[in-house]
């Protein structure tokens, strides 16, 4: 796969949408683990296609969340057929109105 830049755009403090080539592909956000009293960075791929269990998860820092997101994204994107990519783009474009 040719590596493409993943762009984080903040929506609020500790909350980011993740874009690739202008398309929204996921989210990374800071949450509090009230049970353990710690901060957790949750990340997830959010494209309109069936997603595997490994397409989201927790991380200890923003940097770790970005690294985990990129690894999952590359695995996910490499698994897509041209037809699946076209369906994703069509569905996402239709939602824009």
Between residues 72 and 97, the one the model is more confident about = 72
- Over residues 47-91, the pLDDT tens digits come to 999 999 999 999 999 999 999 999 999 999 999 999 999 999 999
Average pLDDT rounded to a whole number, residues 86-97: 88
What is the pTM (predicted TM-score) of this model? 0.89
pLDDT at 3 over 90: no
Q: Under 8 Å CB-to-CB from 84, ≥6 apart: which residues? A: 49
Q: Which two tokens stand for residue 96?
A: 């824009």
Sign of CA dihedral 93, 82, 27, 33: positive
Q: Determine the distance from the C-alpha atom of residue 32 to the mean position of all C-alpha atoms in its chain, rounded to a whole number.
A: 19
Q: What is the pLDDT of residue 1?
A: 45
């Amino acid at each position: 796969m040719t590596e493409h830049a993943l762009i984080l755009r903040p929506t609020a403090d500790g909350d980011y949408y993740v874009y690739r080539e202008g398309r929204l592909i996921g989210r990374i956000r800071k949450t509090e683990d009230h049970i353990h009293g710690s901060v957790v960075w949750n990340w997830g791929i959010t494209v309109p296609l069936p997603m595997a269990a490994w397409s989201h998860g927790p991380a200890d820092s923003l940097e770790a969340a970005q690294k985990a997101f990129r690894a999952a994204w590359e695995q996910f994107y490499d698994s897509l057929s041209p037809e699946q990519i076209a369906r994703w783009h069509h569905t996402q474009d239709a939602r824009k109105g």
